[in-house]
Amino acid sequence: MGAKAKKALKKKLKKTSQLSISRHKNESSDFLPLEGGPGLQLAKVEEEPAKNIATVLYIGHIPHGFYEEQMKGFFSQFGKIKHVRIARSRKTGNSKHYGFLEFENPEVAKVVADEINNYLVFEHNLQVHLIPPERVHPKLWKCANWRDNRKDWTAIARTQHSKERTSDEHQHMVQGIVKREEKRRKRIRAAGINYDCPDLVGLGQPASKKIKFDEEDD
């Protein structure tokens, strides 16, 4: 190959390399760039927001008088209600000022959570929040159908105190009173208080018989 042919070949190779570089600059590539090379800008894909499927609401700051029936009457204006539950004391049955509500339609639940949060009811600002389905306890609605079957604990205590006792039961009750009185006197003396406690009289016995205690223990 002559000198002219070699020169023409070099010129052709140089021109070809320049065309390929310019083509790569203008066209996008499907390959990832090497380190230090020009970064390939991929189109950003906007993620669609997750669809709301939550139907259960937490309701806090519930005032007294705003119970299950009142809650159903108030919230049923927004949509059909499946369950209502107010947390109550097992002993007294009184409201604990928070509860849960479930709608059939998740869109209705979302609207109620947005619009009724901080709504003023009986001088209480209701706190309403959506509960995600994965955080809803499977036994949440177990005690939803609450009935007012509270016990009159005062009457129960009165009946227990006033019931007729056998002689053995009466003697057992007296022994308990005497033991508690002895402990009380010991605590008074241990505190350095000089106080003469009155004697116990009666306890179902004639007034002439008095239960006396030593003022000081040996």
pLDDT digits (tens, 9 = 90+) for 70-107: 999 999 999 999 999 999 888 788 899 999 999 999 99
Cα gap 98→82, rounded to integer Å: 18
**Which stretch of 96-105, 113-122, 135-144 has the lowest confidence by average pLDDT?**
135-144
Residue 29 pLDDT exceeds 90 = no
At residue 213, the pLDDT reads 47
Q: Per-residue pLDDT tens for 153-172?
A: 788 889 988 888 899 988 89
At residue 103, the pLDDT reads 95
Q: How far out from the chain centre does Cα 103 lie?
A: 19
Beta-bridge mates of residue 98 = 60
**Which stretch of 45-49, 118-122, 190-194 has the lowest confidence by average pLDDT?**
45-49
What is residue 138's DSSP assignment? T
Question: How confident is the model over 16-37, as a mean pLDDT?
Answer: 52
Nearest to 88 by CA among 148, 137, 139: 148
Residue 65 structure tokens: 């008088």
Domains of the chain from N-terminus onward = 56-135 (3.30.70.330)
At residue 58, the pLDDT reads 96
Q: Per-residue pLDDT tens for 38-62?
A: 555 556 666 666 677 889 999 999 9
- Global pTM reads 0.49
Beta-bridge mates of residue 57 = 101, 130
Beta-bridge mates of residue 56 = 102, 131
At residue 206, the pLDDT reads 42
Residue 199 pLDDT exceeds 80 = no
Question: How confident is the model over 173-193, as a mean pLDDT?
Answer: 90
